[in-house]
Structure 1
Amino acid sequence: MKAMILAAGLGKRMRPLTDHCPKPLLPVAGKPLIVHHLERLREAGIHEVVINVSYRAEQIIAALGDGEAYGLRIHWSRETAPLETGGGIQQALPLLGDAPFLLVNGDVWCTAFPGKHALQGDDLAHLVLVANPPHHANGDFGLEDGRVNQTSAERLTYSGIGVIHPALLAGQPQGAFALAPLLRAAIDNHRVSGERYTGLWVDVGTPERLATLESQLQGKGR
């Protein structure tokens, strides 16, 4: 299974930290945030990673190269302007191939990824859900018996990590578009499974959350 890391965002909420440094390269626990992803992907047995880049793309490419230093191979999907989540994946599909792939938001911290067998049958996606953080108190989806829904009273937050089948994007034109509406349609068609993750997960979206994560990791001696 290949993986795709979404790293093309402008990092506006991270300013002023991202005025001169793209968000994936912001340091946490002694190394760039995206490097933690690469190391965990390698540990999970994934050897090919597609990364989409736009804002300060050359900085990211220069820092990570072809991935050899991390024990894997990186393929770059360059966007002249950010294509949003869906459009970014659509453009990268020729690099990802026809098989399901692991999708990881570049600006989250998580200590584990779902395995390649998480996607079963004719499902189009398998989502990792987490308890709602304070900045997203209402959550995104429900989860019952391993199936994601939009009707449960208890809501959980999509972690930004999942396994995606390329067929989820079938028929979508090239250009910028969001992934969320496609996921919601697949959920309504009962083609999305899920799991609840209870380990350390942080949406590293602001300087304050980055500082909080750094403090947490220092406290754990990591």
Structure 2
Amino acid sequence: MSEPQGAEAVVLVGGKGTRLRPLTLSAPKPMLPTAGVPFLTHLLSRIREAGITHVVLGTSYKAEVFQEHFGDGSGLGLELEYVVEDEPLDTAGAIRNVAHKLREPDVMVFNGDILSGVDLRGVLTTHRQARADVTLHLVKVDDPRRFGCVPTDEDGRVTAFLEKTENPPTDQINAGCYVFRREVVEAIPQGRPVSVERETFPGLLAAGARLQGHVDASYWLDLGTPAAFVKGSADLVRGIAPSAALAEGTGEALVLAGASVDEGATLSGGTTVGAGCTVAGGAVVEGSVLFDGAVVGEGARVERSVLGANALVQAGAVVSDAVIGDGAVIGARCELRHGARVWPGVVLPEAGVRFSTDV
């Protein structure tokens, strides 16, 4: 398949990921291990698979981590460049901040925390066929009340940007993937925060610009919360969400090299077991993410949770819908449920103590 000429990509990865703390205390959200590799690797692999090779990363929080890991991008078949945002500029401001690195007529822009199955070539084709100034990927969701919605006319042209409402007129929402004509990027005000949905897009509509919608019902997930992060990783492992970065086939579990899983343990639901992890006999790990070096003791149960690097869940403990920080210890027969978060290095006592809040 031929490569799309005249297109490049911008990926915005400057957020602090506060909703994912304590996981993001040590790494930016797009660098969290997701199905065995940093999440950003999955997005970059799909960009490369679509034939785009020049990618600019708009970074801010822990900016050096991205360049240390990905370098010039040659390992992924890409040419990567980096622009650091010194102060928060919102989405449009962050796009404008990288404009000096752009060189192609069409610029695909991605939010760096979205897991999506959209046909990237299809979005670009929609943009070019419509001769649009900006094209937005709009995804249909079951409950649009949780999002602002974006109605389109019979030609697919965007007609408005609406705030959250109890009675949305459409089930189409902004999916965080766009194609901009480069001239539109260069016209965004420079050096100050600018919102795409509150300023740039409404301003373009008012000026008569063509904003086109590429509407589909593909897989889509915002990885902004611990529950969504766990689900996204599990869906990648099981092959429900697409990626070109999974070295091994999909299945119920992904066990990385150097991990030790007792034959009496049960792994299911798209679990990832990181390098150097240990899962003891009788343990059950379902739909969870174990960062490198985590340990699950004998008979322990871990469900839909994240265990940070070198975290320890002792024998008989139950961890359900929880986040365990790096190096934390969950004592034998403890129970953590309902979104509990344990901060790095915290040691919880044994003997059946129950927690359902942050610790």
TM-score (normalizing by structure 2): 0.58
Tell me which residue corresponds to 1:112: 118
How far apart in 2 are the matches of 1:65 and 1:72?
10
Query: Residues 105, 28 of structure 1: CA spacing in aligned structure 2 closer, same or farther, 3 A cutoff?
Result: same
Tell me which residue corresponds to 2:94: 88
Please say if 1:186 is aligned against 2:219.
no
Worse-matched range after superposition: 165-174 or 140-149: 165-174
Structure 2 matches for 1:12-161, cutoff 5 A?
12-97=18-103, 99-115=105-121, 116-120=124-128, 123-132=132-141, 137-144=146-153, 145-150=155-160, 153-161=169-177
Query: Residues 209, 65 of structure 1: CA spacing in aligned structure 2 closer, same or farther, 3 A cutoff?
Result: same
Aligned with 1:164 (options 180, 183, 191): 180
How far apart in 1 are the matches of 2:78 and 2:188?
31
Contact 2:142–2:171, Cα closer than 8 Å, also in 1: no
Alignment-mate amino acid for residue 2 of structure 1: E
> Post-superposition shift, 1:3?
0.2
SS in 1 for 2:170: coil
Alignment-mate amino acid for residue 50 of structure 2: A
Counting aligned pairs with the same residue, the percent is: 29
How far apart in 2 are the matches of 1:90 and 1:219?
37
Q: Which has the higher contact order (CA 8 A, sep 6+)?
A: 1
> Post-superposition shift, 1:184?
2.1
- Cα deviations by residue, 1:98-144 (Å, 9 ceiling, x for unpaired): 61210011000012343333324652200101123658534321123
Alignment-mate amino acid for residue 118 of structure 1: T
How far apart in 1 are the matches of 2:144 and 2:62?
27
SS in 2 for 1:104: strand
How far apart in 2 are the matches of 1:163 and 1:49?
13
Query: Residues 206, 5 of structure 1: CA spacing in aligned structure 2 closer, same or farther, 3 A cutoff?
Result: same
How far apart in 2 are the matches of 1:190 and 1:71?
35
Query: Residues 117, 216 of structure 1: CA spacing in aligned structure 2 closer, same or farther, 3 A cutoff?
Result: closer
Query: Residues 31, 136 of structure 1: CA spacing in aligned structure 2 closer, same or farther, 3 A cutoff?
Result: farther
Query: Residues 74, 133 of structure 1: CA spacing in aligned structure 2 closer, same or farther, 3 A cutoff?
Result: farther
How far apart in 1 are the matches of 2:238 and 2:74?
31
Unaligned runs of 5+ in 1: none
Query: Residues 134, 208 of structure 1: CA spacing in aligned structure 2 closer, same or farther, 3 A cutoff?
Result: farther
Structure index of larger Rg: 2
The structure richer in helix per residue is: 1
Alpha carbon RMSD of aligned pairs, Å?
2.2
How far apart in 2 are the matches of 1:216 and 1:93?
34
Contact 1:124–1:168, Cα closer than 8 Å, also in 2: yes
How far apart in 2 are the matches of 1:135 and 1:81?
31
> Post-superposition shift, 1:30?
1.4
Please say if 1:196 is aligned against 2:215.
yes
Unaligned runs of 5+ in 2: 1-6, 162-167, 240-249, 252-359
Tell me which residue corresponds to 1:208: 227
TM-score (normalizing by structure 1): 0.90
How far apart in 2 are the matches of 1:142 and 1:153?
7
How far apart in 2 are the matches of 1:110 and 1:16?
25
